[in-house]
Amino acid sequence: DAGVIQSPRHEVTEMGQEVTLRCKPISGHNSLFWYRQTMMRGLELLIYFNNNVPIDDSGMPEDRFSAKMPNASFSTLKIQPSEPRDSAVYFCASSLARIELIDTQYFGPGTRLTVL
Amino acid sequence: KNEVEQSPQNLTAQEGEFITINCSYSVGISALHWLQQHPGGGIVSLFMLSSGKKKHGRLIATINIQEKHSSLHITASHPRDSAVYICAVRKDTGNQFYFGTGTSLTVIP
């Protein structure tokens, strides 16, 4: 399997622009996680889905952030409008776990976002 | 106060040394994860624990639920073990995850 695929790997944009990050989980995995990592705050969980349904979005920083999972093989994280403080590495991860179970997460390579 | 505390923050060791990284948490958990982040940024999940001990190669992870503490041990450390090791817990009520700030390990040849 190719592992978790994220695109783009790098994104540079200007403040106010819309940014869309994409993730393809490992085939057969039914949980998907979006994380953000910054020097100041470390790794943070933004939102996670189980069977395409958002389970916990309490980590989403504000209304400018939204995430969707239209099907089992694709998810997006959108920032609109973007701000310089959104600059971070965004990781997507997937796992086999059902909501009440726990399982190893497999991380994608991350998208490095820079908002100027 | 952070729900997850790791120690030490930074660690330098000579190749071959036995290494221990500690993680303490303050909430009830359903699982604890140890993650490894390589210098290039990639993240690998090393272990997921809910009790006892797990071993994978030179890595051993233990957890004491009563004491709310976990340790990650590396035997016969090697320069390729140089990375940031992150402890993360999933709360047993609700669905929140909490992360430690990481331990940066450098193993010198």
Q: Quick one: pLDDT band at residue A100, thresholds 50, 70, 90?
A: very low
Please give, rounded to a whole number of angstroms, the shortest distance from the CA of B84 to a CA of chain A.
Answer: 11
Band of pLDDT at residue A1, cut at 50, 70 and 90 = low
For position B39, what pLDDT does the model report?
Answer: 83
Give the pLDDT mean for A37-59. Answer: 89
**Per-residue pLDDT tens digits for B6-36:** 999 999 999 999 999 999 999 999 889 999 9
Average pLDDT, chain A: 91
Q: Give the residue-averaged pLDDT of A31-44.
A: 90
Q: Search chain B and give the residue with CA nearest A36.
A: B99
**Highest mean pLDDT: which range of A64-68, B1-5, B54-58:** A64-68
Task: Tell which of B4, B37, B43, B101 to mutate to test the A interface (max A CBs under 10 Å).
Answer: B43
Please check the confidence at residue A77 and state whether its pLDDT lies above 50.
yes
Which residue in chain B is spatially nearest to A89 when comparing CA positions?
A: B41
Q: What is the mean pLDDT of residues A28-53?
A: 90
CB atoms within 10 A of CB B89: 26
Distance to chain B for A84, nearest Cα, Å: 21
Chain A residue with Cα closest to B95:
A56
Residue A55, judged by CB atoms within 10 A of its CB (0-12, 13-18, 19+), counts as middle
CB-nearest partner of B90 from A102, A106, A110: A102
Share of chain A above pLDDT 70, in %: 93
Cα–Cα distance, B80 to B83 (Å, whole number): 8
A82-86, B4-8, B90-94: which has the minimum mean pLDDT? Answer: B90-94
Distance (Å, whole) CA A65 – CA A72: 21
Q: Across residues B74-102, what is the average pLDDT?
A: 90
Mean pLDDT of all residues in A81-86: 96
Which tokens sit at B93? 């009520």
Residue type, B12: T
Interface contact B96-A43, CB threshold 8 A: no
